[in-house]
Chain A
Amino acid sequence: MAIAVKLDDLLHDRRMTLTELADRIGMTLANLSILKTGKARAIRFSTLEAICGALSCQPGDLLRFESEQAERERPAAAG
């Protein structure tokens, strides 16, 4: 998908595990994993609010638009 979820990077920066975040915002680990791995089809505003509150970040830090074309070109540029 063209929307990339940067939850992994945010957690890494804040030295927090997914389990800790799940505990803090009262979400199941399974649901957070779906979000982290980019398998979610939609995100509720309430979820976004809880995550941004717990990680002290903006929604834009969590989600990023990456055009499909850029995604295709990236491996070529890296190699």
Chain B
Amino acid sequence: MTRPASSAALPTAYVVLRILVFLNWLSGAAIAALLVAMPNRQWIMSAFHLSPSPDADRLIMGMRAIAAFGLVAIPLNYVVLKRLLAIVETVRAGDPFVAANALRLKAIAWTLLALQLLSLVIGAIAKAVSTPAHPLHLQAGFSISGWLAVLLTFLLARVFAEGTLMREDLEGTV
């Protein structure tokens, strides 16, 4: 069997994923700190130049809710990154067509689905609390590329499951 020439993609992916895992925890800690240490209403009002009004209160409530949902996304991100790292490891070891990778991809697909739903919720909250006086712009909500990624990952998981079966058949062929 001819092996693909080794490229810089794998080591790069490995390093990038490791960095992303670290950044994910870091942002998780930052959101948690924001939620726990900063519930001071006065502080938020001055930081965002808000004038006391029911709208401003709604905005603060909305931001807290978004932060809470953002915190939920951290372990989900970790699930995706950790499984991607494990897949990269198997590619480096030269044997990616294993049942474990099919399961990992399936887990990633479900997690991406959950993250897309979370994004919809966060987008809806942002839209609900945003007013012309206090606009709240967030990169959340419906994303075609996001949903396409979910679909693609589910498909890839099936491809891997089939590939694993074919690989097992090939290995049992004399």
Could you list which residues of chain A lie within 8 angstroms of chain B, going by C-beta atoms? 27, 31-32, 34-35, 39-44, 47
Contact = CB atoms under 8 A, between A and B. Distances in A.
Interface string B95-114: 00000000000000000000
Binding site secondary structure of chain B: mixed
Contacts, number: 23
Contacts of A31: 174
Interface in B157-174: 168-169, 172-174
Interface size bracket, B side: under 10
Nearest to A32: B174
Contacts of B169: 41-42
Nearest to B171: A41
Given A40-B172, A41-B172, A42-B169, 8 more contacts: A34-B174, A41-B168, A41-B169, A42-B173, A43-B173, A43-B174, A44-B173, A47-B174
A11 to B, nearest CB: 15
Contacts of B173: 40-44
A34 B171 CA distance: 10
A57 B173 CA distance: 21
